[in-house]
Chains A and B, each alone.
Chain A
Amino acid sequence: MEPVLKVENLTKVFTRRGQPAFTAVDHIGFELYPGECLGLIGESGSGKTTVVNMITRLLDSTEGRILLGGEDITRLSGKGLRRAYREMQMVFQTPADSFDPRCTLGDGIGESLRNNGMSRAETKQEVARLLTECGLTPEFASRYPHQVSGGQCQRAAIARALAVRPRLLICDEATSSLDVTIQQEILALLNDLRRHHGSELSILFICHDIALVQQFCSRVLVLYRGRIVEQGIPDEVICHPQDPYTRRLIESIL
């Protein structure tokens, strides 16, 4: 089976004047198959956001290749990149900041649809449908980001990500800024979406909470200082950690 996403040798070196070069991501590689949910865990500062920002091309990689559905997107720009964004979407770490404070949630969710040539009326209907799918009411389309709670905002962000019916959904710590009960609600929503979309939707789930990953993912990568130190089925990794860092990470939770 062809992977939805294939990453080879991905590296990011940050260079700043007057400072030694800093390797935030160091030659990592992995594959994500259709319908799979892959977890990426690691402590704060281990380079998780850097990895996904390179995959979504918000950040240029220093080295390596990113293949989305077999197509090399590492150096795409302009039109080609916009086409890639129809296949790949992201839910950001901070829900409230990921919506323009001066636009309604409906505007934000419908933006990609409008950009892909959908009419205003159709967009409005589709936005209402997406909001309902994500457990909100169509009435939320006219609200501004500061008028909704964090959990509701994250639901809207998921609705926005699903608008173009992507094959790959990246959740960058989509639950970290929410409290525990809302975390479970969002996770339940993501589980529903997975069941509903089946092999049409693959998820890259970034998290620093190993318990959430165990509950949600079929495979997990452990990132430590920009390197993948361990990978496998979550239960395996948790019960029989091979790497000293993973062992410490698990001990700190249990």
Chain B
Amino acid sequence: MTAMREPTVRIQKIRKDTVRTRLIIFGALALILLLCSVFCEHLTPYDPYLQDLKNAKAPPSPEHLFGTDRYGRDMLSRVIVGSRTSIFSTLLLVGIVTALGTMVGVFCGWHGKWIDTVLMRISDMFLAFPGLVFAMAVAGVLGGGLQNAIIALVAISWPKYARIARSQTLAQKETPYLNAARLSGSGTWKMIFKHILPNIIGPILVTSMLDIGTMMMELAGLSFLGLGAKPPTAEWGSMMSDARSLLSSVPWVTLAPGFAIFVSVMIFNLLGDTIRDYADPKSRGR
């Protein structure tokens, strides 16, 4: 009996440690990415906006690791500088969507009645509509530009968060401790900020971590379609779009930002996965 027991305990401990190790590794990678984008000016080997037509379309070499584009700008420097726009606008987008969706969801769940029905039907409409098409329409109406791309993506992404926050709030409203808080004479705001939000924010944050990758792709997608960041601003999506006509002759100009998107999306997705595993005690054993 004891002989059977011991290994199980050990395995569980090891598995839990793996989740923690993963958390440390991906957290560190994400941190490096963030630091990169904060200090990007100091990390570039060349001036990312300096044109050097003699050196245009140079393939990857020891001097220019990712090659140069058609104006002779160093691709590595441009990718590094692009990280600021790409990563920060993604984080801003995720932040706005999470805050807005949570606010709407908590309000609906708390208030109930007709206003809840109305807002939830609206969110149903958004969920039923193909998101990126709608985002393109919004960005098209508002005109290009990074700011409008973010507005467009916020418009299509908030319903998911509103749904989660609403159902969580409804569940919290039924708990005895909320009734106890009510009997303690706490007002609406205190109950929402002190008791409901701390108890529902976990699953919402996990969702937003998992969404960072998707949002980055969608933002890059809109930029690629010319509805996001405009050249010469270095942004990964628009950089790819810029060079797509030269894909066959100078593939590195498209591939370099593509690779950067791929790596960052990957890191943020894995981090999101790990945080979900870490936050959920039931899946910690896996």
CB pair A116–B185 under 8 Å, yes or no, is yes
Interface size class for chain A? 20 to 34
Partner of B179, one of A92, A102, A112, A163: A92
CB pair A102–B183 under 8 Å, yes or no, is no
State whether the Cβ of A23 lies closer than 8 Å to any Cβ in chain B. Answer: no
**Complex CA–CA separation, A94 to B182 (angstroms):** 16
**Complex CA–CA separation, A72 to B277 (angstroms):** 52
CB pair A82–B179 under 8 Å, yes or no, is no
Q: Apart from A92-B176, A102-B198, A108-B184, what 19 extra A-B contacts exist at CB < 8 Å?
A: A82-B185, A85-B182, A86-B185, A89-B183, A90-B179, A90-B183, A93-B176, A97-B175, A97-B177, A98-B177, A98-B179, A100-B181, A101-B199, A103-B194, A112-B183, A112-B184, A115-B184, A115-B190, A160-B180
**Complex CA–CA separation, A90 to B185 (angstroms):** 12
Query: Which residue of chain B lies nearest to A90 when distances are taken between CB atoms in the complex?
Result: B183
13 pairs from A and B in contact (CB 8 Å cutoff)? A56-B183, A58-B179, A90-B180, A90-B183, A92-B176, A97-B175, A98-B177, A99-B177, A100-B199, A103-B194, A108-B180, A111-B185, A164-B185
CB distance from A62 to the nearest CB of B (A): 18
CB pair B185–A92 under 8 Å, yes or no, is no
State whether the Cβ of B195 lies closer than 8 Å to any Cβ in chain A. Answer: yes
Partner of B184, one of A58, A102, A160: A160
**Complex CA–CA separation, A56 to B184 (angstroms):** 11
CB distance from A206 to the nearest CB of B (A): 14
Instruction: Using known A-B contacts A115-B186, A115-B190, determine if residue A100 contacts B179 with beta carbons closer than 8 Å.
Output: no
Query: Which residue of chain A lies nearest to B182 when distances are taken between CB atoms in the complex?
Result: A58
CB pair A94–B185 under 8 Å, yes or no, is no
Contact with B along A103-137 (1 / 0, CB 8 A): 10000100110011000000000000000000000
CB pair A111–B184 under 8 Å, yes or no, is yes
Contact with A along B179-213 (1 / 0, CB 8 A): 11111111100100011001100000000000000
Contact with B along A57-83 (1 / 0, CB 8 A): 010000000000000000000000010
CB distance from B178 to the nearest CB of A (A): 8
Residues of B close to A100: CB separation below 8 A? 177, 181, 194-195, 198-199
**Complex CA–CA separation, A195 to B190 (angstroms):** 35
Report A's interface with B, CB cutoff 8 A: 56, 58, 82, 85-86, 88-90, 92-94, 97-103, 108, 111-112, 115-116, 157, 160, 163-164
Residues of A close to B198: CB separation below 8 A? 100, 102
CB distance from B12 to the nearest CB of A (A): 20
CB distance from B133 to the nearest CB of A (A): 36
Residues of A close to B176: CB separation below 8 A? 92-94, 97-98
**Complex CA–CA separation, A82 to B198 (angstroms):** 23
CB distance from B189 to the nearest CB of A (A): 12
Residues of B close to A82: CB separation below 8 A? 185, 187
**Complex CA–CA separation, A100 to B193 (angstroms):** 13
CB distance from B192 to the nearest CB of A (A): 13
Residues of A close to B175: CB separation below 8 A? 97
**Complex CA–CA separation, A94 to B174 (angstroms):** 13
Residues of B close to A94: CB separation below 8 A? 176
Residues of A close to B183: CB separation below 8 A? 56, 58, 85, 88-90, 112
**Complex CA–CA separation, A206 to B130 (angstroms):** 55
In the complex, chain B residues 138-189 whose Cβ is within 8 Å of any chain A Cβ: 175-177, 179-187
CB distance from A158 to the nearest CB of B (A): 12
Closest 4 CB pairs of A and B: A112-B184, A111-B184, A115-B185, A98-B176
CB pair A112–B185 under 8 Å, yes or no, is yes
Residues of A close to B184: CB separation below 8 A? 85, 108, 111-112, 115, 160, 163
Residues of B close to A88: CB separation below 8 A? 183
Residues of B close to A103: CB separation below 8 A? 194-195
In the complex, chain B residues 203-227 whose Cβ is within 8 Å of any chain A Cβ: none
**Complex CA–CA separation, A26 to B199 (angstroms):** 37
Among B175, B181, B185, B199, residue most surrounded by chain A Cβ atoms (within 10 Å): B185
CB distance from B205 to the nearest CB of A (A): 14
**Complex CA–CA separation, A111 to B187 (angstroms):** 11
Residues of A close to B177: CB separation below 8 A? 97-101, 108
Residues of B close to A56: CB separation below 8 A? 179, 183
